[in-house]
C-alpha cells in the first residue's frame, strides 16, 4: 500500500489538472489517483486508465505518462510472474 501511495503522488504530479472531471478515474484528487493506480496495480481495466490519461495530456507528456503507467503495471505484476516462474522451474 505504501508503494501505491507513492505512485499515486507521482501520478498526481504528472497528470493533475490535465484530465477533465467527467472521467471516472482522473488524477485531480489524491483519492481518485490512488484508486486509478490501484486499478493499474490489479490489472483490472488498466488500459482504460492508460488511454484516458494519455489522451488528456499533450503528445510529449503523453509518452511520459504512458511509460509511467506501463512501467507501474510491469512493476506491479513482476512479483507474480516471478513466483510463477519459480514454481514451474522447481517441478
The one-digit pLDDT tens for each residue of the chain (91 residues) are 888 999 999 998 888 877 777 767 788 889 988 999 999 998 889 999 899 888 888 888 889 999 999 999 988 888 777 777 888 887 5
Nearest CA among 22, 18, 20, 74 for reference residue 46? 74
Please tell me the predicted confidence (pLDDT) of residue 75.
Answer: 87
pTM listed for this prediction: 0.79
Length of the chain: 91
**DSSP-derived secondary structure letter, 71:** H
Q: Is the dihedral of CA 72, 2, 44, 34 positive or negative?
A: negative
Number of domains in the chain: 1
Domain containing residue 30: 2-90
On whether the CB atoms of residues 77 and 43 are closer than 8 A, the answer is yes
Amino acid at each position: 500500500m505504501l508503494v501505491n501511495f507513492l505512485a499515486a503522488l507521482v501520478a498526481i504530479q504528472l497528470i493533475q489538472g490535465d484530465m477533465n472531471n467527467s472521467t471516472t478515474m482522473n488524477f485531480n484528487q489524491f483519492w481518485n489517483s490512488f484508486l486509478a493506480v490501484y486499478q493499474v496495480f490489479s490489472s483490472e481495466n488498466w488500459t482504460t486508465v492508460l488511454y484516458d490519461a494519455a489522451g488528456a495530456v499533450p503528445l510529449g507528456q503523453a509518452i511520459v505518462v504512458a511509460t509511467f503507467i506501463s512501467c507501474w503495471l510491469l512493476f506491479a505484476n513482476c512479483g507474480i510472474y516471478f513466483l510463477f516462474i519459480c514454481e514451474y522451474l522447481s517441478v
